[in-house]
Amino acid sequence: MKKDLKLSDIPQRNPYQVPANYFDRLPMRVMERTAAQEQKQPTLWQPLRLALVPVVLLLLFVGAYFYSMPDEPEQQMVNLASVSDTEIVDYLSTYATIETTDFAELSTLREQELPAELLNVSATAAEEELEYYNLNHIDY
């Protein structure tokens, strides 16, 4: 086995050597490098680069938002005057609870015009009722 090692037994020498006049020239070298950096004029690209990054990110987010939006189908306007009577009767017989006597009265109502007194409805009440059902959002 090896005997115990003591620090006093290790030879004391400096393995590193400093170049000649290194510390004499060091302050001048530091001053030269800092002066050279101060003399550099900032170019237009440096501040523009900082402002360009948020603009590009904003454009990317706006593009992703509009790309992910669903396309809404255009609502078709239907002129009821152009719909034939048979189509109206077929629709009402399929989707509405109407009795056959109502269909018999349909042809007589077409030829005469009903006055507002027969309906017992004021114009404002009729308008409020139509607004309540919001006919623009009903599929026909």
List, for residues 51-107, the tens digit of each pLDDT value.
898 999 999 999 999 888 877 666 666 676 777 878 887 887 787 776 767 666 666
Phi-psi region of 19 (alpha: psi -120 to 50; beta: other; left: phi over 0): beta
Higher pLDDT, residue 110 or 86: 86
Enter the tokens of residue 12: 């004391």
Q: What is the pLDDT at residue 26?
A: 93
Enter the tokens of residue 127: 């308008």
List, for residues 8-48, the tens digit of each pLDDT value.
888 888 888 888 999 999 999 999 888 877 666 667 777 78
CA distance 63 to 96: 46
CA distance 140 to 138: 6
| Domain residue spans of the chain | 83-137
Enter the tokens of residue 9: 């037994």
pTM of the model: 0.27
